[in-house]
Amino acid sequence: MIKGNRWTVMLTLLGLLATGVANAAPKTFVANDYGAKGDGTTLETASIQKAIDAAAVAGGTVTMKPGTYLTGSLFLKSGVTFEVPEGTTLIGSERVEDYPMLPTRIAGIEMTWPAALINVRDQRNVAITGKGTIDGDGPIWWKSYWDLRATYEPKGLRWASDYDARRPRLILIQNSSDIQLGGGILLKRSGFWTVQILYSHDVHVDGVIIRNNEGGKGPSTDGIDIDSSRKVLVEHADIDVNDDALVLKAGRDSDGLRVNRPTEDVVVRDSIVRRGAAAVTFGSETSGGFHNIEAYNITALAGVPSGILFKSAHTRGGYGSDIRIHDITLEGVAIPIHITMNWNPSFSYATLPAGLRDIPSYWVTLTTPVPEQQGLPHFSDVHIWNIKATGARAAFNVAAYPNATLNDFRLDHLEIQAATAGTIANAKNWIITDSNIQTADGSKVTFTDSEFKDPKDIPYGEPK
């Protein structure tokens, strides 16, 4: 029994409570204490996983001493903080057997695929942080893709290359919630997509550096893919990749329409794209649709081909609405406003060459026909403003379909300097105001099959 006056008793109880809180503080689990060596040659998968499993019991932090840790797939668990501290590198194994085959979604279809290097699957309250490096050792995987594609293209199988060349992603967040990723961590040389946020919600990516062009040009090495997920915030990303940089996706063709899960309630902001397909991309996997998306304060540098990029195909379907994109700076970006609903036909439209037998089940999925009306993608209620672009090749390259027009787009406060104005087709109920489109050749935008809110005035261009 605790004796004394009531104030003494209270202070004693508070002290005991504080001691209990301190004793209950999250514990740090050092992977080296579980057998990890950090010598760059020993396969450390089992040792690091033991530390993760131990931390999951107590809700602690996993860390490592400085060094290089060769590993296959690791699986983070609820309540665990996974720290890759400065001076530490995790490098992915070059053996595909070190990445177990698991159900997931790849490039818009559900299929079995090698696990990522770092996996958060069916978990909650997980953090990945630190100023160290996660390196996918991409060149070996990139070569496997190019070698396969060289044999597939003459057979009419370009569309199958991305699915048959089984390349591990760097980080996968799947069916999970309350996830944190960032803290200045360096993600490099991913075999395939770098960060995929799939079927997840309440995810915060803050302060990642992505470098996928070291040691060659990594094909399909997207930066951050937000894939049929919701309540996602991405900020302070610094990205150098060879494909989509900051991209929203929602499924492909018949399989994406079957799953029918949108990407919604997303903010992407305060980031820089040094190399990549665009400053921000929607698609080409659009089947589940996009709703309530905001992207702003993004800079893209010279060599990035598109600024704001919407891309889909006439087999994708899906609806995009309530999309807001603003305060974008484009320095030497070829096409500031780029919208195509017939993107990359050799990849987008999968057909089986005659005579093929014993094909994989996902080839059947990819080649399942989509009814015409169901396959047409639709975008509406899009607001784009405060765009500053210099050194562009063409200000606009916009086209959809006469029976699936781009509806109710509002563009204002565009400051674009370009060699030529470009074209806008299949636009309905557009408004372009308070903008300055300067062209070296003196051209104005050519509008085809397009209507504006005020039919008396087609701004900054001429009908065709």
pLDDT at site 454: 64
Question: CB under 8 Å to 275, separation ≥6 — which residues?
Answer: 213, 239, 240, 241, 242, 245, 301, 303, 304
Instruction: Tell me the residue type at 157.
Output: L
Would the pLDDT of 260 be above 90? yes
Q: What residue ranges do the domains of the chain occupy?
A: 25-225, 244-350+362-464
309, 278 contact by CB (below 8 A): yes
Nearest residue to 184 (alpha-carbon basis) of 88, 103, 250, 277: 88
Tell me, yes or no, if the pTM score tops 0.85: yes
| Separation between Cα atoms, residue 214 and residue 194, nearest integer Å | 14
Question: CB under 8 Å to 361, separation ≥6 — which residues?
Answer: 111
Would the pLDDT of 258 be above 80? yes
Separation in Å, CA 204 to CA 60, 180, 236, 265, 269: 20, 5, 11, 12, 12
pLDDT at site 374: 97
> What mean pLDDT is reported for the chain?
93
39, 66 contact by CB (below 8 A): no
Same fold: 25-225 with 244-350+362-464? yes
Q: State which fold the 244-350+362-464 domain adopts.
A: Pectate Lyase C-like (2.160.20)
Condensed to tens digits (0 to 9), the pLDDT of residues 58-71 reads 899 999 999 999 99
Would the pLDDT of 359 be above 90? yes
Separation in Å, CA 6 to CA 2, 18, 19, 226: 10, 18, 20, 56
Tell me the backbone φ, ψ of residue 162, rounded to 5 degrees. -65, -25
25-225: CATH, from 3.20.20.70, 2.60.40.1180, 2.160.20.10, 3.30.70.270: 2.160.20.10
Across 455-459, average pLDDT: 59
Would the pLDDT of 278 be above 90? yes
Condensed to tens digits (0 to 9), the pLDDT of residues 281-315 reads 999 999 999 999 999 999 999 999 999 999 999 99
pLDDT at site 344: 95
Would the pLDDT of 7 be above 50? no
Condensed to tens digits (0 to 9), the pLDDT of residues 191-207 reads 999 999 999 999 999 99
Condensed to tens digits (0 to 9), the pLDDT of residues 397-416 reads 999 999 999 999 999 999 99
Question: CB under 8 Å to 57, separation ≥6 — which residues?
Answer: none
